[in-house]
Amino acid sequence: MNRKQDSIPVQRQADAYTINQAADLLGADTDDVIDSAGLTLGELELGAVEIGLSVTDYRNVPVLRAHELAVIASRLDAQPYL
């Protein structure tokens, strides 16, 4: 029996945010949001495919909840800006 193992849970609830939405809300770069969220490109690409998107649409996968945005924001604030 083959078991499919998901790397990240793809949220389908209305309270889930995409990387693009999180970046817009936080005024941050999408790459910084991904890093601060602790996600990998591979996880996001897999999530995109699982919901029927192209792997290049990984920034449009709803994977972040509102409480996670607060954590990401605090991590972004802690980063030194050059």
Comparing 7 with 39, the larger pLDDT belongs to 39
Domain that holds residue 61: 16-77
Long-range contacts of 54-62, Cβ-Cβ distance < 8 Å, separation of 24 or more: 58/19, 59/18, 59/19, 59/20, 59/30, 60/18, 60/19, 60/20, 61/10, 61/18, 61/19, 62/10, 62/11, 62/12, 62/13, 62/16, 62/17, 62/18
pLDDT tens for 14-34 read 689 999 999 999 999 999 999
Q: Is residue 6 part of a domain?
A: no
pLDDT tens for 63-81 read 999 999 999 999 998 766 5
